[in-house]
Amino acid sequence: MDLGQVSRIAQLVQLAPDLVEGISQGKIKASISQLVRNKLPASWQAQQDMMKIDRR
């Protein structure tokens, strides 16, 4: 594993908790490669907007 791969995977620690829960429960269809392919926004709201998640 090179530094670039580690850096991309390390982004996942900043993933919004409701997204982690939804992905782990299969309610949100997203793969690790989809998540690390693009830079994740730091804001949880922006992440939800990016994933088209309604928090209501």
Res 53 pLDDT > 70 = no
Q: Tell me, what's the pLDDT at 35? A: 83
> Closest Cα partner for 40 from 31, 50, 26?
50
Per-residue pLDDT of 16-25, as tens digits, reads 999 999 989 9
Q: Tell me, what's the pLDDT at 15? A: 92
Q: State pTM to two decimals.
A: 0.72
